[in-house]
Amino acid sequence: MEEVILVLNSGSSSIKFTLYSGAAPQVDGQISGLGAKPRLSLVSSVSTTRVERPLTPDEGKTHGNALATLIPLLETELGGKTVDAVGHRVVHGGVSFTQPVRIDDKVLEELGKLEPLAPLHQPHNIAGITAARDVFPNAVQTACFDTAFHREHPWVNDTFALPRSFYEEGVRRYGFHGLSYEFICSHLKATRPDLYKGRVVVAHLGNGASMCAVLNGQSIGSTMGFTALDGLPMGTRCGQLDPGVVLYMLTEKGMTPDEVSDLLYRNSGLKGLSGLTQDMRTLAASDDSRAGEAIDYFVFRIRRELGAMAAVLGGLDTLVFTGGIGENSALVRERVCANQDWLGLSIEPAENHSGAERISSDQSKVNVLVIPTNEEEIVRRHTSALLAA
**What amino acid positions are annotated as catalytic residues?**
146
Q: What is the rounded CA–CA span in Å between residue 380 and residue 15?
A: 16
Confirm if 126 and 114 have CB atoms less than 8 A apart: no
Q: Which residue, 213, 234, 204, is CA-closest to 375? A: 204
Instruction: Give the dihedral sign, CA 326/331/336/337.
Output: positive
Q: What is the rounded CA–CA span in Å between residue 191 and residue 172?
A: 34
Confirm if 32 and 20 have CB atoms less than 8 A apart: no
- Identity of the amino acid at 106: K
